[in-house]
Structure 1
């Protein structure tokens, strides 16, 4: 008998046994039924698989279809020629070409903030949140780190490193009463939350601003799902509605979704330039040699220019029209709201088969299940985009109803139009 020690995990901040043990069964089922692990070529908004099957992807985060915009593609190519390098692999704190500086200046003007770029939102959050926990990004006070229960995994994964610098707790989704209790108890609190949820819905930014004003609470938002799709010049939900845009509000937002490019923008207000150096040197991945390459920067620069024109307003208008069209045909909890994500309810037992049925009809909607969503709330995730046609939306909704979705109230009886 071995006398070597075995390890009993604490599972204080994550539980891979639970995550993989439960979630992997659904992933395996999805892949076995052909609704995960799909490969196809994209042309004119339609995917074509090797077997000839065609489908329209209704689960993609490029809400304005800027990822296929000719100016964005040309911008990526032109940047490679202009800067003569793809990725100069050295930390920018030591040596850098002007490529990132040009992008950050452009985005700073667009969003009205000091912008620091990162290769991804996960990298940005991984680097920034421990600096907040230690008080080095903030007012010097170590805050209680309160993570929203539904915070994206890219945020939640920072819990262990934050716990080495401060205390970490998890609260119910948008639990304002709990937050106020913590603000009364602790000298300072930082609330970590999505500005726009990946399954639909916005953070209560105005109510959170009241707590910021009353208790000096800091809020760390990931507003990736609303950037570009929402607000004048696509500044996103948080910057459109948050009345407090100073050192108490820090926002990260990917440039890979609605912005149609790649990388991430860290938006800081009221911080001195010395903060930029602190972040670049000590915010983990932001200080590594992994950063946005010239092609991603060129695409982002081109997208930023589109954001300064009437074309962005037109694209946002088409997106709103398509959202309203979908809501007129199908009933979801998100109906009537402005965000482009809809979760079509299904049971755990039927969601994969429903996704398979929809896919066979020429549309991809991703089945989501625990641990992506809470147990018993499985469904098909639908993302509306500016480039989808009325015919595509009507056909999709008709197929979803056949798969078990509930038609909009006005359509009960005769079925989808």
Structure 2
């Protein structure tokens, strides 16, 4: 039987290769940084979520190293048995204070956080109204819930209103609007002020996955809700977003671990019933310590946030001058578009050519993005220098010429 299955799988893989959609993992032989070593050569890294440059920050590494001696290597248990250390609660309180909620709960990843929340809070009598471009973890989490599901067009407030009307007419006990804070393939911000206004009008909750924002978006880096003006830091826990999820695997050190930050009752109920929390080992001690240090740095990182904004603006300006097709925006995610039937193959070829010029980027195509909308997603970092940014643009130009020729 297995031989027949192997042949079927091999055929499926060959179809992926023929379509130009096969994804190859490039191994790094260096720490994650703005400059990495891959395939035996140094390259500028423009495809990591290392927005503040903290993944290899010496203070973060030192905190993690010290934690190995003080707290050990692993917890070997789930949280409610014997897997909670003092520093786990310290990190939960710190992230809750940073994003403006009453408390937070740690998960092994934000994928687990999003996977565990919906089944606990929303049942058959409830309604989940979700943006069509939400992250896969939200989509999977919603599927685990027995709640009624509504989907609205990406950032379309008229369609959101229509879905809220349908949920209301269906007699939903609880309704929640769910959105990414930043849509990771496009770099677009969710219009949280308008979403919160509609939530107030329809008596709905608002949940935001802020993985691509926490630590660097907003005046103080608190996230999309600060950027959009729905977080009032002058009032005690006055946050118009009811539930925030996020990760420590991107701007906040780049390790692993996710969280749900919310009202105390939400956090307490998740601790009782969220399956990824109840049946997964606690986040490793060194990751907790490193994330605590990264969060401490992020709170005081105005200089890094300004460097990130400066690098992003420079890259956008230079790429536009060079005639590349960019999605509009201001986020450090900058998609360089290659539309059409041959776009996926073209994006992959240009990315490969750029690596030969010492710049590491990744092409994205279906099913990660819609058919005909292939792109190279460039991600800027505060750790990049102006020279790094200019070299990246030069590599795009060279790669385009190589593919065209």
Question: Aligned-pair distance for 1:324?
Answer: 1.2
- Secondary structure of residue in 1 paired with 2:73: coil
2:343 corresponds to 1:353? no
Is residue 2:307 matched to residue 1:318? yes
Aligned pair partner of 1:144 in 127, 147, 158: 127
Residue correspondence of structure 1 range 198-217 to structure 2 within 5 A: 198-199=184-185, 200-217=187-204
Name the CA shift for 1:363/1:203 in 2 (closer, same or farther; >3 Å): same
Aligned pair 1:122/2:122, yes or no? no
SS in 1 for 2:150: strand
Q: 2:123 aligns with which of 124, 134, 137?
A: 134
Where does residue 177 of structure 2 map in the other structure? 191
Specify the alignment match of 1:175 in structure 2. Answer: 156
Does residue 262 of the first structure (1) align with residue 251 of the second (2)?
Answer: no
The CA distance in 2 between the partners of 1:353 and 1:176, in whole Å, is 38
Distance 2:314 2:29 in 1: 28
Residues 146 and 168 in structure 1, CA contact (< 8 A), matched pair in contact too? yes
Q: Is residue 297 of structure 1 aligned with residue 297 of structure 2?
A: no
Seen in structure 2, the aligned counterparts of structure 1 residues 101 and 149 have a Cα distance that, compared at 3 Å, is: same
Counterpart Cα distance in 2 of 1:361 and 1:293: 38
Q: Within 2, Cα distance between the matches of 1:102 and 1:27?
A: 48
Residue 313 of structure 1, CA deviation:
0.4
Q: TM-score, normalised by structure 2?
A: 0.84
Q: Which stretch has the larger CA shift, 299-308 or 381-390?
A: 299-308
**Contact 2:214–2:221 (Cα < 8 Å) also in 1:** yes
- Which residue in 2 is equivalent to 1:41? 29
Give the alignment's TM-score, normalised by structure 1: 0.81
Q: In 2, Cα distance between the equivalents of 1:146 and 1:60?
A: 30
Shift of 1:369: 0.6
Tell me the alpha carbon deviations over residues 23-71 of structure 1, each in whole angstroms, 9 at most, x when there is no partner. 944797555xxxx311122267432235x32211110001011111111
SS of the aligned residue for 1:267 comes to strand
Structure 2 counterparts to residues 210-359 of structure 1, below 5 A: 210-243=197-230, 249-260=242-253, 261-268=255-262, 271-272=263-264, 274-309=265-300, 312-331=301-320, 332-335=325-328, 337-346=329-338, 347-359=343-355
Gaps of 5+ in 1: 1-16, 136-141, 406-417
Give the 5 Å matches for 1:386-401: 386-401=382-397
1:184-235 Cα offsets, whole Å, 9 max, x none, are 2323432222101112110010110110111112222111001112124421
Aligned residue among 377, 380, 383 for 1:381? 377
Question: 1:222 and 1:377 mapped to 2: Cα distance?
Answer: 24
Say if 2:361 and 2:376, in contact at 8 Å, map to a contact too: yes
Q: Secondary structure at the match of 1:93?
A: helix
1:306 Cα deviation from its structure 2 partner: 1.2
How far is the alpha carbon of 1:242 from its aligned partner? Answer: 4.9
- Distance in 1 (CA, whole Å) between partners of 2:131 and 2:302 is 32
Q: Distance in 2 between matches of 1:48 and 1:206?
A: 42
The more displaced of 60-69 and 92-101 is 92-101
> Retained in 1: the 8 A contact 2:150–2:163?
no
Q: Distance in 2 between matches of 1:22 and 1:213?
A: 51
Matched residues in 2 for 1:26 and 1:315: separation?
Answer: 42
Q: Distance in 2 between matches of 1:379 and 1:186?
A: 35
- 1:22 deviates by 11
